[in-house]
Chain A
């Protein structure tokens, strides 16, 4: 069945460092891919999405490219800030939106 595998955490970076959180997926058909972020004490919120191969989702300096050839959707940011400290979830939905899968989450802490 469909699934999402993301990089184990926790990840600790210094402010202004480069961030990569890996995410790979297994799916039949053409899923949509998402990154969600969860700040302490809050629910998840959409960070970015991509709905077809080679699409690049971007938001708040974060980017992820839908790579069908490597079945990946890695999250990147060129210069992280303390305010980016949160848990990041990679997610997948099938073509017709009947199945949804979340990764296990990667905790990011950015230190000044």
Chain B
């Protein structure tokens, strides 16, 4: 049963620390999305990649967030330095030409 795998599932850190979230997309998928979900803002698209190239990262605060795809099996989202307002659930999703997105279970981030 193919699925998107995100690690860690939960992360608690202190303000100012670097946070790295990882995502393994479904094998063969050529698009990867990063979303942030909060009660106040709902689901926000942060960035997305096609064939490992960033297509849109306009939703991402550039000063502290960065997203990369070192290879086709790994996508990373980094926050440095982290702030309490970054506390949220971060989802990765992957897809192919069908435009359907398959979501991971998310990383719940708490920045104290």
Residues from chain B with a CB closer than 8 A to the CB of A104 are 42-43
Chain A interfacial positions (CB closer than 8 Å to B): 32, 34, 36, 41-46, 49, 89, 93, 97-98, 100, 102, 104-105
Choose from A34, A41, A89 the contact partner of B100 (Cβ within 8 Å).
A34
Interface of B is mostly: strand
The distance in angstroms between the C-alpha atoms of A49 and B99, with both chains bound, is 10
Query: Number of residue pairs across A and B with beta carbons under 8 Å?
Result: 44
Chain A residue with minimal CB distance to B4?
Answer: A43
Chain B interfacial positions (CB closer than 8 Å to A): 4, 31, 33, 42-43, 45, 48, 55-56, 91, 93, 95, 97, 99-106
Residues from chain A with a CB closer than 8 A to the CB of B101 are 36, 44, 46, 100
Residues from chain A with a CB closer than 8 A to the CB of B91 are 43-44
Interface of A is mostly: strand
9 contacts between A and B (CB under 8 A): A43-B93, A43-B104, A44-B43, A44-B103, A46-B100, A49-B100, A100-B101, A102-B45, A104-B43
